[in-house]
Amino acid sequence: MISRVYVKQKNEASSVDSYLITHNFSREKMVKIAKALTNPTIEEFSINKFPKTNKFSYAIEIGFKPGVTDNVGHTVDETISDLFHISASKNNPDFAVYSSKIYLVSGVKNLNEIEKLALSLHNPLIERSYIASSADIKKNGLLLRASEVILGKHTPVIEVPLSKADTEELINIGKAGVMNEDGSRRGPLALDLVSMEAIQTYFRGLEREPTDIELESLAQTWSEHCKHTIFANPIDDIKDGLYKTYIKGAANLIRKKRGKKDFCVSVFSDNSGGIVFDNDYLITHKVETHNSPSALDPFGGAITGIVGVNRDTIGFGMGAKPVANVYGFCLGNPEDEIKYFKDPPSPEGFGRAGNNLRQPMLLPKRIMEGVIKGINVGGNCSGIPTLNGFIKFDDRYRAKPLVFAGTAGLIPRIVNGKPSHLKKAKAGDYIVMVGGRVGLDGIHGATFSSVVMDSNSPATAVQIGDPITQKKLSDAIVKEARDLGLYNSITDNGAGGLSCSVAEMARDMRLPAGRHGGAEVDLEKVPLKYPGLRPWEIWISESQERMTLSVPKSKWKAFQKLMERRGVEAAVIGKFTNSGKCVVKYKNKKIMDLDMEFLRLPKQQLYTKKPPLPPLSGGRNSPPLIRGGREGLNFTKSLEKLLSQKNISGFSFISQQYDHEVQASSVLKPLSGRGRINTDTQVFRPILKSDKGVVLTSSTYPSYGDISAYNMSACAIDTAVRNTISAGGTLSHLAILDNFCWCSSNDPKRLYQLTEAVKACCDTAVGFGTPFISGKDSMFNDFKGYDENGKPIEISVPPTILISAISVMPDFNKTISPEFKNAGDIIYLLGETHDELGGGEYLKNIHPAKGTPQEGNVPKVDVKKNIKTYLALEKAIQKELAASAISVNSGGLGIALAKASVGGMIGCDVSIKNIKGTAKSVVSKLFSESQGRILVSVSPKNARAFEKIMEKISYAKLGKVTNGDKFIITDKTKVIDTSVKKLHKIYHKFSNSMK
């Protein structure tokens, strides 16, 4: 039987919640269920009868497509099974629940319009809509249609005829996937010809054909996404590859130099990087990207991004507790409404219906709303404070947005008498899968994000996170099972699913010399969301909220019992062996048998090509094309306009919808001061009994890369370091993380830029003594599609490097916030200002006619000079001499002054006449983005002591914080004269328009 329970708010009727239930319950039981779903004070229910509502013309029902995670449905399922003390529907064929929402629309009579509205309410990739007129509903009620998954019957395992395949066929298999029995292809393996040939040779040696699961498995573990082939391969004369030579190389060099003072504990070897917090704890950090999925389903992409990186914390060492989330969005401009499609126009012609069939790409505004909401639900539901974040706009992020998600974690250094960051499975341990079940969601996620997005991008690559399932899992592991010593090793099921997690754990096993780790898996033991999945699908599915653990046989019972009591599903799916082989069986038949050694990837030589000058270079010697604007420009108007730019102004509408105070740890929050400005840096206290604080920040300057990838990279590191110090962080206890988001990475010119950026990472990090502890890359952020008229379009993101920083400060009480505090405080600018407007916000937004962003000097980093400045400021802050400090970033000194004033809602009167450095023009002095500068305010009584500390560095005394509303900047004459209230309004305008 199918019944529908409707629940709606008593007074309001713009929407109705619907729960479709297939069941054999009595009417009486159905009423009981409906009552449990209704809060009688504010809601009312009806069963099978459309509720009484105000007049409406149409109802739009939005439900999930079959197989898409239905979190609300799961909760109702649990409520019902708990109510009647029966087992949940996943183990009980007697009932199932499907949730949906019904929107009531009045005043719209035109079916076209209502269809358009329906499309704005749902994402056809994962949801379905059903439209009914009110007359229709009166007559027939709403459809009773369960969103059940019914999979076609397939042969479980097929052999792929590889031994005789020619080059063309090998390329075909690599690009479009294994051929099904019906001749269709299964979707990209993202294996190039060299890899396919290596596989062919391997199986020729074995004198057999590979099975589909073997091929899919190799594609997963060899994918760019999992193996980071571009960073690992030799490139030009860099034999060990970029990662080993420059990133890991820098970390090793720094650690060696530090000797006993090395604070790194686990670097690039685990799911997150780990550094010392204090004698008892480690703090971890990891930042991920989830770009391709977010382009297709922004909400699902972002939520799986954030809960996915949470698992990189839970999967660090023996399991760290997530204590802070960070995020970053690089998006197209929300006002851009140009339509793009993945497919060319169909021969049937143009028009609305035709266009819908062409896989339209989502508009930037829709993507923005979706990704913001994804981080909201993922972070808020998990009880992890969301602290650091940023949002950047550029038309080139229009098709593939960049969505960064990161998590810091905390773990005792010693767990059960052993260092917590070390873990190894033992031969004979059970392979245990814990958490969510496996479905078709996320098939080919790893290989999909390794290729260009075009019409072949599979829809099943989209997943929806279920933060509550993961919260239960996380609590059960890091708050209980870990400290009971119930497992030997743990890792996350992320990209590649079981195929990657099991192979990884087997590779890292603890074994006697000469033995090699292996695994034997029985795939039919993996709990499934619905029947009918083929073995290769189970093996590589990226269904969310799952961890893989190695549990000693003797601990299994206790582990199983604990998980059961916490409402967490756990299943033994095989065991670890010392055979050196990865063996997978399905219903007692061996379907995969690969040498663990072969799962490692063969290397390929890569080459770069220096692009022509400019626009892709610049460097230190390029001519200063921009010497600043004409004197006599209206600088006040320029400043106000610059402050209103979305890349500079506030985004409190995002910060305040993210819970940043849970865990009671926040010290310096995302919004600060009377004027609620966004802080660049946040401070929190992960252990409420300790005075130690953790400092988080991040930095990216994509537009600098248009001129020089080297300087883009160097500036991002300098800014991350500077932001950290400005809030009170410690240079000698500061680690950084890299995220490279590149485009067209098979183009030697892009590889040249990459090499430059990576070299800068090494030079700058070594210079500052700030080691990389973790990193991630996403190398193909390109879109190939069509515009409305069928013209082919290619959009690639600008090569983007995000640097995140984490630092430990000895006493959080010494944290300082960026806004001005009291009238009379003296304002100083530390550092030097040069003619470095190139790639900056001023040239991009105010003066594009006179100089394109590609012209002019891009900011450069003088590490030696800047270190001195930063150490001096660190000392002054430790001595509690500074009242405020704000890092001078995008928009330069003018913007830093405006933000500090708006934050404090207090005026200032400063002169830029005598600032240090080579900048001569007013424009350069105000808006150049020279690195190494910090704007500090100091109480007059501390001025002398402060100046003493600054004696040996370049600094200038600019003026004073002033009572009242006036915001005055003078050079030779008054150049800016405006009011703080006006600036406040401008600063918050974008954010207020988004509320």
Partner 1 sequence: MKNKKTKIIIMSGYGLNCEEETKFAFDWAGGDADIVHINDLISKPKILSQYQILVFPGGFSYGDDTGSGKAFANKFKNHLSKELREFLKRDTLVAGICNGFQIVTNLGILPGGLTFNKHGKYIDRWVDLQVPSPAKGRAGRGLSPWLTGIKKLSVPIAHGEGHYVISKKDYIKMQKNGEIAFVYEKGEICKFQNLEKNPNGSDYDIAGILAYNGRVLGMMPHPERAMFAHQSPIWFMNKKLYFAKATKDEGQGLQIFKNAVNYFSAKGGSASGGK
User: Checking DSSP bridges between strand 518-522 and strand 581-586, what pairing results, if any?
Assistant: parallel
Does the protein bind partner 1 through residue 828 (CB under 8 A)?
Answer: no
Q: In this structure, are residues 319 and 335 in contact, taking their beta carbons and an 8 Å threshold?
A: no
- Candidates 41, 67, 59, 82; CA nearest to 4 is 59
Per CB under 8 A, which region of 431-439, 713-721, 808-816, 853-861 contacts partner 1? 808-816
Side-chain-side CA neighbours of 410 within 13 Å: the count stands at 21
Is position 942 an interface residue for partner 1 (rule: CB under 8 A)?
yes
User: 379 vs 442, which CB is nearer to partner 1?
Assistant: 379
Name residue 586's beta-bridge partners.
589
Task: Name which of 171 and 943 has its Cβ closer to partner 1.
Answer: 943
According to the binding rule CB under 8 A, does residue 376 interact with partner 1?
Answer: yes
75 binds partner 1 (CB under 8 A): yes
Q: Which is nearer to partner 1, 84 or 350 (CB)?
A: 84
Q: Report in angstroms how near the CB of residue 956 gets to partner 1 at its nearest.
A: 22
Q: At closest approach, how far in Å is the CB of 466 from partner 1?
A: 8
Contact between residue 292 and residue 449 where contact means Cβ atoms under 8 Å apart: yes
- Which residues within the stretch 6-25 sit at the binding site for partner 1 (CB under 8 A)? 7, 9, 17, 19
Name residues contacting partner 1, limited to 416-475 (CB under 8 A).
Answer: 466-468, 471-472, 475
- Pair 38, 44: CB distance under 8 Å: yes
CA distance 409 to 763: 28
Per-residue mark of binding to partner 1, 96-115 (x: CB under 8 A): ---x----------------
| Structure tokens, 584 | 């997978």
Considering only residues 684 to 703 of the shown chain, the ones binding partner 1 according to CB under 8 A are 688
Under the binding rule (CB under 8 A), the answer on residue 120 touching partner 1 is no
Could you say whether residue 664 binds partner 1 (CB under 8 A)? Answer: yes
d(CA 836, CA 954): 17
Three-state secondary structure readout of 647-711: CCCCCHHHHCCCCCCHHHCEEECCEECCCCEECCEEEECCCCCCCCEEEEEEECCHHHHHCCHHH
Q: Minimal distance in Å, beta carbon 881 to partner 1? A: 8
Choose one: 378-386, 590-598, 751-759, 853-861; the region binding partner 1 (CB under 8 A). 378-386
Asked if 883 touches partner 1 (CB under 8 A), the answer is yes
Give the one residue of 46, 57, 333, 657 binding partner 1; rule: CB under 8 A.
657
Q: Is there binding between residue 355 and partner 1 (CB under 8 A)?
A: no
Q: What is the dihedral of CA 215, 217, 221, 224, to 10 degrees?
A: 60
The least distance separating partner 1 from the CB of residue 598, rounded to whole angstroms, comes to 42
Task: Kindly tell me which of 162 and 883 has the beta carbon lying closer to partner 1.
Answer: 883
User: Rounded to whole angstroms, how far apart are CA atoms 53 and 872?
Assistant: 67
> Is 669 a residue that touches partner 1 (CB under 8 A)?
yes
Residue 889 and residue 947 in contact, taking contact as beta carbons nearer than 8 Å: no
Q: Is 875 in the site for partner 1 (CB under 8 A)?
A: no
Residues between 380 and 409 that touch partner 1 (CB under 8 A): 380-383
- Separation of alpha carbons 98 and 19, rounded Å: 6
Phi and psi at 349, nearest 5°, equal: 110, -175
User: Min. distance of Cβ 255 from partner 1 in angstroms?
Assistant: 33
Of positions 159, 280, 483, 661, contacts partner 1 by CB under 8 A: 661
Binding residues for partner 1, rule CB under 8 A, total 69
817 binds partner 1 (CB under 8 A): yes
Q: What are phi and psi of 667, to 5 degrees?
A: -120, -65
- Closest approach, Cβ 745 to partner 1, in A, equals 38
Short-list 871, 839, 827, 863, CA closest to 724 = 871
Is the bond leading into 686 cis (omega within 30 degrees of zero)? no
CA 448, 452, 456, 457 torsion-angle sign: positive
211 binds partner 1 (CB under 8 A): no
Please, which residue, 17 or 706, has the CB nearer to partner 1?
Answer: 17
Q: What tokens appear for 749 in the block? A: 């010119």
Residue 656 Cβ vs partner 1, minimum distance, rounded to whole Å: 6
Q: Is 666 in the site for partner 1 (CB under 8 A)?
A: yes
Binding mask 712-731 for partner 1 (x = CB under 8 A): --------------------
Q: Which is nearer to partner 1, 569 or 929 (CB)?
A: 569
Distance CA(938)–CA(926), nearest Å, equals 21
Distance separating alpha carbons of residues 678 and 684, to the nearest angstrom: 16
Q: Which residue in 128, 19, 147, 136 sits closest to 72, CA to CA?
A: 19
Residues 6+ apart with CB under 8 A from 630: none
Instruction: Among 94, 631, 811, 977, indicate the residue that binds partner 1 (CB under 8 A).
Output: 811
The DSSP code sequence of 600-647 is SPPP--B---PPPTTTS---TTS--------TTS-HHHHHHHHHTSTT
CB of 662 to partner 1, least distance (A): 6
HSE (CB half, 13 Å, CA atoms) of 452? 17
Q: What's the angle, vertex CA 653, arms to CA 647 and CA 655, rounded to 5? A: 85
Tell me: does residue 659 bind partner 1 (CB under 8 A).
yes
Q: Does 658 bind partner 1 (CB under 8 A)?
A: yes
Question: Per CB under 8 A, does 676 bind partner 1?
Answer: yes
Report if residue 74 touches partner 1, rule: CB under 8 A. yes
Q: Build a one-symbol-per-residue string for 39-68: x at contacts with partner 1 by CB under 8 A, - elsewhere.
A: x-xxx-------------------------
Cβ-based nearer residue to partner 1, 342 or 472 = 472
| Alpha carbons 756 and 749: distance in angstroms, whole number | 11
Question: Minimum CB separation from partner 1 for residue 315, in Å?
Answer: 20
Binding residues among 22-41 for partner 1 as defined by CB under 8 A: 36-37, 39, 41
Name the H helices within 879-979: 892-904, 922-927, 940-950
Q: Is the CB of 384 or the CB of 443 nearer to partner 1?
A: 384
Structure tokens at 949: 């500390």
**Segment interacting with partner 1, rule: CB under 8 A, options 156-164, 210-218, 576-584, 674-682:** 674-682
Residue 493's closest CA among 292, 323, 313, 315? 315
- Beta-bridge partner residues of 787: 340
- Binding residues for partner 1 restricted to 592-651, rule: CB under 8 A: none
Q: Which of residues 644, 656, 852, 970 is near partner 1 by CB under 8 A?
A: 656
Instruction: Tell me whether residue 250 or residue 547 sits nearer to partner 1 (CB atom).
Output: 547
CB-wise, 744 or 815, nearer to partner 1? 815
Residues 558-577 that bind partner 1 (CB under 8 A): 565-567
Nearest in space to 593 (alpha carbons), one of 221, 213, 220, 223? 213
Least distance CB 688 / partner 1 (angstroms): 5
Binding site for partner 1 (CB under 8 A): 7, 9, 17, 19, 36-37, 39, 41-43, 71-72, 74-76, 78-79, 82-83, 99, 376-377, 380-383, 466-468, 471-472, 475, 565-567, 656-664, 666-669, 672-676, 688, 811-817, 819, 821, 880-881, 883, 939, 942, 995
